[in-house]
Structure 1
Amino acid sequence: MTTAELIKLLKKNGCTFVRNGSNHDIYKSPITGKEFPVGRHSSEEVKAPTLHTILKQAGIKQ
């Protein structure tokens, strides 16, 4: 999954953009209430452990 696809999935599940970090964008999940970073490299593949962590923080089951 690329970063662009991940962001689409996050938005589909109600996550909202909060702010820009230095190399990452910060999103917030309405499910968990947590804020978490997502890299800005939209065409790059997100590594499996990173993807798992982001989805867990967002409260999205996959």
Structure 2
Amino acid sequence: MSRLPIVDPKTMEKVLLKLGFQRVRQKGSHVFYRHSNGKYTTIPFHARALPKSLIRKIIRSIFMFIL
């Protein structure tokens, strides 16, 4: 298994938008994204990088619709 890169929220947002997700709403510092097939994910927008465990969770949730 390859190592996960350090990703900040802005970079993760760019990836989600390129994959077809749309920004639906925001509650506090958390932004909600939804795909046209119904899948959704949430990204916390803080000033620091996302934890690797959260990156792994987001990747699993967004790529479930591809498999």
**Structure 2 unaligned residues grouped into runs of 5+:** 1-6
- Segments of 5+ residues of structure 1 without an aligned counterpart are none
- Bigger Rg over Cα: 2
What TM-score comes out, normalization by structure 2 length? Answer: 0.72
Q: Aligned-residue CA RMSD in angstroms?
A: 2.0
> Distance between the aligned counterparts of 1:57 and 1:46, measured in 2?
16
Other-structure match for 2:54: 50
Instruction: Assess if the C-alpha contact under 8 Å between 1:28 and 1:58 holds in 2.
Output: no
Identity %: 20
The code of the aligned residue for 1:14 comes to G
Q: Number of aligned pairs?
A: 59
Residue 37 of structure 1, aligned match among 33, 42, 45: 42
Distance 1:15 1:35, change over 3 A: same
